Structure 1
Amino acid sequence: MTTVVKRANTELVAVAWLRSLDGIEPGQVATTLPSKTADWAENGFLQVTPGIGGSMQLHYALREPVVQVEAYAARLDSGKPPWNVAASLMEAVVAGTYDEANLQRTLTLPGAFPAARVLTAHFVSEPRRMPDDVASYARYVADLALHWISLEGAS
């Protein structure tokens, strides 16, 4: 029987990097917005969507993807979106891209996936407010470029 080798991917790396930032709780980041709004409404939530753009190096294993980051917040007792909460959450990510402690950082990925290292991270678009959400969620969107390598086989 053939064993499938687990390999790091952009989705895992982006989520792990965001979860490692100051001011971001691990439960505040995933690729899918949790269905129970009450679980994240007060402090907000970051949703990551890979595949927005980027490239891979031809001769060595450097990945340079662009992922979409969405910062959500909601107010359960009002139809008025809490824009300040979503904006502050997105700005915590922006600040994380300028903090040198967050670069060249080795990330432990879940399960049996190999570790990865984010070399650099920077936004390629300014965070933008996304109004007119039917559920009255506050949502900001921005595009984040990550340069990362897998540490598979590294010792």
Structure 2
Amino acid sequence: MTTPVLRATPELVATAWLSTVVGDRVATTLPKPGVDGTLSWADGGFVTLVVAGGSSNIYVPLRTPVMGVSCWAANPTSQKPPWNQAATLAEAIVAACLDHPSIPQTLTLPGSYPSVQVKSAYVVGDPRRITDDASSYARYDIPGLVIAWTEVPS
């Protein structure tokens, strides 16, 4: 039996690229509170992502997924959501998309996944405040983050 070839996925690439912007505070799900109710991410906020659409080029191995991005912030000592902290994370992502000299870039993915070359990154729609969170978390959504990438040949 042969070992399957691992392929980069939109979630892996978006997580790796967003990590270059916001550090290790990014994943596909928001971390759960600790057993004592503390939030490990309360100091700097957190970014979650989900594939919202996109496509692959039918002629060349170029992927252009559209990612939905949520920027979260919490203040464990107050019921007032820290809107500015969540907005700052979202605006840092927008600014990184506009930092054209930093793109393209090669990203190393975890484990045995191949490296990828990010060709471009841009947002489709401005960050917007989401006000219906019952947990008093502040949340800004970027409706579309497009990251165009290809796998680096091994």
* TM-score bracket relative to the smaller structure: over 0.9
Counterpart for residue 120 of structure 2: 120
Q: Give the match's secondary structure for 1:61.
A: coil
Unmatched segments (≥5 aa) in structure 1: none
Q: What CA distance in whole angstroms lies between the structure 2 residues aligned with 1:93 and 1:110?
A: 22
Counterpart for residue 12 of structure 2: 12
Task: Please say if residues 83 and 138 of structure 1, whose CA atoms lie closer than 8 Å, have aligned partners that are also in contact.
Answer: yes
Task: Please say if residues 69 and 141 of structure 1, whose CA atoms lie closer than 8 Å, have aligned partners that are also in contact.
Answer: yes
1:82-114 Cα shifts (integer Å, max 9, x gaps)? 000000011111110011243110000000000
Q: TM-score, normalised by structure 2?
A: 0.93
Task: Please say if residues 123 and 145 of structure 1, whose CA atoms lie closer than 8 Å, have aligned partners that are also in contact.
Answer: yes
Q: Give the match's secondary structure for 2:92.
A: helix
Q: What CA distance in whole angstroms lies between the structure 2 residues aligned with 1:25 and 1:34?
A: 15
Q: Give the match's secondary structure for 2:68.
A: strand
Q: Give the match's secondary structure for 1:38.
A: coil
1:101-112 to 2 correspondences below 5 Å: 101-112=101-112
Higher mean C-alpha displacement, 129-138 vs 29-38: 29-38
Q: What CA distance in whole angstroms lies between the structure 2 residues aligned with 1:150 and 1:106?
A: 9
* Matched AA of 2:63: R
Tell me the percent identity: 47
1:33-82 Cα shifts (integer Å, max 9, x gaps)? 100251011210000112x1111100110001100110000010111100
Counterpart for residue 40 of structure 2: 39
Counterpart for residue 23 of structure 2: 25
Task: Please say if residues 130 and 139 of structure 1, whose CA atoms lie closer than 8 Å, have aligned partners that are also in contact.
Answer: yes
* Matched AA of 1:25: G
* Matched AA of 2:11: E
Q: What CA distance in whole angstroms lies between the structure 1 residues aligned with 2:10 and 2:23?
A: 20
Q: Give the match's secondary structure for 2:15.
A: helix
Q: Give the match's secondary structure for 1:59.
A: coil
1:60-75 to 2 correspondences below 5 Å: 60-75=60-75
Q: Give the match's secondary structure for 2:39.
A: helix
1:4-52 Cα shifts (integer Å, max 9, x gaps)? 111111110000001012xx222x11111100251011210000112x1
- Residue 96 in 1 paired to residue 96 in 2? yes
With over 3 angstroms needed to count, the CA separation of the structure-2 counterparts of 1:31 and 1:102, relative to structure 1, is farther
* Matched AA of 2:153: E
* Matched AA of 1:147: A
Q: TM-score, normalised by structure 1?
A: 0.92
